[in-house]
Amino acid sequence: MKSSGDGGAGTLSIGALAARFGLATHVLRHWEARGLLSPARDAGGRRRYGADDLTRVAAILVMKEAGLGLDTARSLSATSDRATRREILRPAAEELRSTIAAAQASLELIERGLTCAYEDVTRCPNYRRAVSAHIGPDARPGSR
């Protein structure tokens, strides 16, 4: 017979933990195989997740939302050294800054298209200025 969500001592089964976070149980098993989770086991060998495991799952999800991969999440959870943490996070921060800059440039282009009074948006001077940075000098007529 399957255990209920709380098998005693404030622990959760894999199904209860997965449901709490809207995950499939195979995701938690995968994270365990990757070294991100180490649940306790009951007398029958079934995984039992406690409060620290809930915090770890929440942290993994937040890191994934921030664009960090599982290897990075594992490395971060394995270190308490500030210098190592900075070493791990610095490239992720730079990548995120680049992504944000690209998204801002895309939004600017879209907003220029929205405010353009021309029937053909490619004829709009403001729109053309926004895309001109993407036209290399060799691509302009008469530049070859």
The predicted-structure confidence for 82-131, as pLDDT tens digits, reads as follows 999 999 999 989 999 999 999 998 898 888 888 888 888 888 888 888 78
The average pLDDT across 38-42 equals 95
The verdict on pTM exceeding 0.85 is no
Q: How confident is the model at residue 3 (pLDDT cuts 50, 70, 90)?
A: very low
Specify the pLDDT at position 115. Answer: 87
Nearest to 91 by CA among 103, 75, 104, 107: 75
pLDDT above 50 for 62? yes
